[in-house]
């Protein structure tokens, strides 16, 4: 930041006006520690339109401001829990750190990152063909749906605080959602 821009930022701050970054947007430095995220989306990298979208995680806060939490362009499927916890898949990369796409040009998730207050709480790396995930309404767990692209899969439930798997449920022989544990039901039709 230039001295002139730095001085202007100090004047605006003292005047009670929002400080703008060099890009002309409000400076969100440290916002993740004090503001509550309410939604998250992917900002795709330039020139790439992937399905599902992959790129950087942009978080929207309760006050309407936004902030980009990642910079490598290898995230997908961000979600926000009821308590403001944020999570997303990290995708496979090639030797240069760029997205390593499958044969059908889809990104491959290899880990799930969970953050609270802008800090990584846990990273789940031991995933097998992850196809979807969600925060448990209890705010203490995440569920990851895994399996081949075709056919029944299974759901694993993980404790956010300790990072341990606490339950697993297979859909292989289930034909009725009533036979599923409550935490696995959201994934029954996948």
- 19 and 41 in a single domain? The answer is no
Q: Is there a single domain that holds both residue 89 and residue 135?
A: yes
User: Is 61 or 21 the better-scoring residue by pLDDT?
Assistant: 61
Cα-Cα-Cα-Cα torsion 94, 117, 136, 112, nearest 10 degrees, comes to 10
Say which CATH number the domain at 47 has.
Answer: 2.40.128
In this structure, the answer to whether residues 8 and 95 fall within a common structural domain is no
Residues 79, 141: one domain?
yes
Is 111 in contact with 124 (CB distance < 8 Å)? yes
Range of the domain at 44: 30-187
Interior angle at CA 45, CA 42 and CA 51, nearest 5: 60
One domain, residues 95 and 8: no
If asked whether residues 1 and 52 sit together in one domain, one would say: no
Q: How many domains does the chain have?
A: 2
Residues 93 and 17 placed together within one structural domain of the fold: no
pLDDT in tens, 71-116: 999 999 999 999 999 999 999 988 888 888 887 778 889 999 999 9
Q: Tell me how long the chain is.
A: 190
Instruction: Check if the beta carbon of residue 190 is closer than 8 Å to that of residue 174.
Output: no
Give the pTM. Answer: 0.79
CA–CA distance, 168 with 17 (Å, rounded to integer)? 51
Q: What is the pLDDT of residue 46?
A: 67
Both 22 and 40 in a single domain? no
The average confidence (pLDDT) of the chain is 81
Looking at the fold, whether 37 and 24 belong to one and the same domain comes out as no
Question: 101 and 161: one domain?
Answer: yes
Q: What is the pLDDT of residue 123?
A: 96
HSE on the CB side for 69, CA within 13 Å? 33
Q: Are residues 90 and 53 in the same domain?
A: yes
Long-range contacts from 177-184, C-beta under 8 angstroms, 24+ separation: 183/136, 183/141, 183/143, 183/155, 183/157, 184/143, 184/155, 184/157
pLDDT tens, residue by residue, 115-167? 998 899 999 998 988 999 999 999 899 999 998 777 778 999 999 999 999 99
Residue 52 token pair:
């599902």
**Residue recorded with tokens 């040009």:** 105
- Same domain assignment for residues 100 and 177: yes
Instruction: Give per-residue pLDDT as tens, 27-58.
Output: 556 777 789 999 999 998 766 677 788 999 99
* Half-sphere CA count of 12, side-chain side, radius 13 A: 13
- pLDDT at position 175: 81
Distance, in Å, from the CA atom of 4 to the CA atom of 117, rounded to the nearest integer, reads 32
CB 65 within 8 A of CB 59: no
């Amino acid at each position: 930041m230039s001295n002139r821009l730095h001085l202007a930022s100090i004047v605006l701050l003292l005047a009670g006006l929002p400080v703008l970054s060099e890009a002309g947007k409000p400076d969100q430095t440290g916002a993740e520690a004090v503001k509550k995220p309410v939604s998250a989306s992917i900002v795709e990298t330039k020139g790439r339109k992937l399905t599902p979208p992959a790129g950087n995680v942009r978080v929207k806060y309760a006050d309407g401001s936004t902030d980009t939490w990642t910079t490598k362009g290898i995230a997908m499927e961000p979600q926000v829990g009821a308590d403001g916890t944020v999570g997303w898949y990290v995708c496979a990369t090639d030797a240069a750190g760029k997205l390593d796409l499958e044969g059908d040009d889809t990104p491959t998730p290899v880990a799930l990152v969970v953050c609270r207050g802008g800090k990584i709480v846990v990273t789940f790396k031991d995933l097998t063909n992850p196809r979807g995930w969600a925060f448990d309404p209890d705010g203490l767990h995440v569920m990851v749906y895994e399996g081949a692209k075709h056919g029944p899969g299974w759901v694993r439930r993980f404790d956010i605080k300790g990072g341990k798997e606490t339950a697993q449920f297979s859909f292989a022989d289930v034909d009725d959602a009533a036979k599923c544990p409550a935490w696995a039901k959201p994934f029954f039709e996948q």
